[in-house]
Amino acid sequence: MLTLNKFRHSDVAYTHEASPHGDSLYNQQAQAKTSVDAVVPEQSLDHGPTSSTTTSWLKERLSVWNSDNTMLERSDKAMWQALKLGLHEESSPQWARYLRHKGLRPPAARGHSWKQHPDHQVDTTGTLLETSADSSDNKAPKTQNKGQLCDKTVKQHHGYFKLKGPAKKAYFYWLFESRTAPANAPLVLWLTGGPGCSSEVALFTENGPCSVKKDGITTKRNPFSWNRKAHLVFVDQPAGTGFSYGKMDNNEKDIGSDLYHFMQELVKTYPQYHKAPFYVFGESYAGHFVPATGAAIHAGNKAGVGEYIALRGISIGNGLTNPEIQYPYYPQMAFHSPTTKAVVSEKQFNRMEKHIPHCVSLIKNCNDPKQGDEDCGKAFEKCNGGLIDMVTASGVNVYDLREKCKHPPLCGDFSHVRMFLQSKKVQNALGVKKAWQACNFGDLTPHPHRTVTHC
């Protein structure tokens, strides 16, 4: 079941530059040479002077304002207020941001810098490098359909968001265009959980455009993919997961910040998707990453700098969002589930119940910023040992108690996906060199503001 989460966050600030770019609505309209006068009825100009001498920039703004102000007042009051205040200010930076978002101005220059932490002496710099065959970023020899490994019926882009500075990282992404009405489709960022499980797990076994056949060599189209109606971008996160590499973060705030900056570069590199309503979706441990990413984007929008991202919602499926509240219900799920028979004995259930107070106390210590990381290690060990190990020892699938766990620890068979993604042909097409695994837990040890289990 998916649950919708809303959030608020404090302001942040970043720096960006502006310069011309290619494929966008801006260029389409420039080529069409559509007159603003042709689309702005004089009677709709109700926010200022309406004489025949009204300048073209104001007419353009009034046209956009009349079209979008009701929607923005409902979905983004901060941007609505900023545009309202700057409506008659020709140099308004908020109108410049919004018109870039609408595709009515050239996108900003690719690449930008920011200070990841106040105590950092060196800025972090982020750039997006596409490895798709038809990209100007890719210097490799061009071959027909190179990189079109999945759903060849749609446009797609893949590559790395590379960060340089105090922490060197590179996030792998794979974007598939919507099969239906791509000019007006929403944009969805998908994050798999773990922590440390690759988003290609979802791409090839859940909601992505195709699945890998059991031969581990070929793919078949998924008729139920989410890109039936939306542009869909998968990102391997944290760094070190899947095809991503570099310093592995153990703090959801840092990961959310990185993904905010990734989206800044994504809309500049692919301005055709900038105007799309934007959503962040994820599952399981992404119950931490999805809100953190949404909060960072919301804060960036509210701060009024950088590229405007039309964030319209976030959603989490079966998410682990607050272990202090959720862990005490493991015994109930294992013994009193209304949808399946008990998977532990009554004696085991009572033992699990007795572990709850100590587990909750350890989680509270873990989430206390004044405590050390060793408290998180204790919470991880004691809570899992007392509340989950008895369930896994029974041999059932912890993700579906009605089934046996045939392929521990994730219970699903991803060997064919691993064979496909580790093949030389696929790695050459994607422009990657790292050996892919379904999950790279690495040094993702428990840490404040993180859950205390892998799932």
What is the per-residue pLDDT for 32? 43
Residue 148 in domain: yes
- The pLDDT of 72-96, averaged and rounded, is 96
Residue 377's pLDDT band, with cuts at 50, 70 and 90, is: confident
Query: Is residue 447, in this structure, part of any structural domain at all?
Result: no
Q: Taking residues 233-246, report their average pLDDT.
A: 94
The CA distance from 158 to 190, in Å, is 14
Q: Which of 387, 402, 381 is nearest to 332 (CA)?
A: 387
Number of domains composing the chain: 3
Q: How confident is the model at residue 121 (pLDDT cuts 50, 70, 90)?
A: confident
Q: Give the mean model confidence (pLDDT) for residues 280-307.
A: 95
Give the pLDDT band (50/70/90) at residue 144.
very low
Same domain, 76 and 124: no
Please say whether the dihedral angle defined by the alpha carbons of residues 76, 77, 79 and 84, taken in this order, is positive or negative: positive
And the tokens for 327?
């862990």
Indicate the pairing of strand 187-191 with strand 231-235: parallel
Structural domain contains residue 310: yes
pLDDT of residue 135: 60
Asked, for residue 415, whether it belongs to a domain, the answer is: yes
* Co-location of 77 and 129 in the same domain: no
What mean pLDDT is predicted for residues 410-423? Answer: 93
| Residue 122 pLDDT grade (very low, low, confident, very high; cuts 50, 70, 90) | confident
pLDDT of residue 195: 85
Residues 270 and 123 grouped into a single domain: yes
Ranges 36-40, 73-77, 186-190: which has the least confidence: 36-40
Give yes or no: residues 396 and 264 share one domain.
Answer: no
User: pLDDT tens digit string along 198-217?
Assistant: 999 999 999 999 999 999 99
pLDDT at 292 over 60: yes
Domain that holds residue 237: 2-6+109-318
Do 249 and 122 lie in one domain? The reply is yes
pLDDT at 140 over 50: no
Closest residue by Cα to residue 89 from 119, 123, 65, 113: 65
Distance CA(237)–CA(244), nearest Å, equals 7
Q: Which residue has the higher pLDDT, 22 or 278?
A: 278
Alpha-carbon distance of 193 to 388, in angstroms, equals 18
Q: Are 141 and 231 contained in the same domain?
A: yes
Judge if 147 and 286 occupy the same domain: yes
User: Which of 101, 136, 163 marks a domain boundary?
Assistant: 101
| CATH assignment of the domain containing 135 | 3.40.50.1820
3-class secondary-structure state, position 409? coil
Mean pLDDT of the chain: 85
User: Is the same domain home to 91 and 130?
Assistant: no
Contact 83, 94 (CB under 8 A): yes
Please check the confidence at residue 30 and state whether its pLDDT lies above 80: no
* Selection from 171, 158, 168 nearest residue 244 by Cα: 171
Domain co-membership, 295 together with 215? yes
Assess whether 265 and 351 both reside in one domain.
no
Higher pLDDT, 192 or 40: 192
Mean pLDDT over residues 146-152, rounded? 78
**What's the pTM value of the predicted model, to 2 decimals?**
0.84
Tokens of 81: 């207020």
Tokens matching residue 134? 């038809």
Sequence-separated (6 or more) residues with CB below 8 Å from residue 101: 267, 274, 275, 307, 308, 309, 310
**Chain segment 42-53, per-residue pLDDT in tens:** 334 444 554 555
Rounded mean pLDDT, 329-334? 95
Residue 278 scores a pLDDT above 80: yes
Given 61, 80, 101, the domain boundary residue is 101
d(CA 272, CA 178): 12
3-state SS string for 241-282 = CCCCEECCCCCHHHHHHHHHHHHHHHHHHCHHHCCCCEEEEE
Of 299, 318, 337, which residue is a domain's last? Answer: 318
- For the cut 50, the answer to whether the pLDDT of residue 245 exceeds it is yes
Which alpha helices (DSSP H) does 148-251 contain, by range?
200-205
Residue 11, in any domain of the structure: no
Residue 163 DSSP one-character state: E
pLDDT at residue 138, as a whole number: 57
Whether residue 91 is found in the same domain as residue 231: no
Residue 422: inside a domain, yes or no?
Answer: yes
Asked whether residue 31 carries a pLDDT value surpassing 80, the answer given is no
Among 280, 263, 286, which residue's Cα sits nearest to residue 315?
Answer: 280
What is the structure's pLDDT at 148?
A: 76
CATH number at residue 372: 1.10.287.410
| Residue 450, in any domain of the structure | no
Q: What is the CA radius of gyration of the chain?
A: 24
> Of residues 34 and 86, which shows the higher confidence score?
86
Confidence (pLDDT) at 134: 61
445 part of a folded domain = no
pLDDT at position 186 is 98
Same domain for 132 and 217: yes
**Cβ neighbours for 93, distance < 8 A, ≥ 6 positions apart:** 86, 304, 305
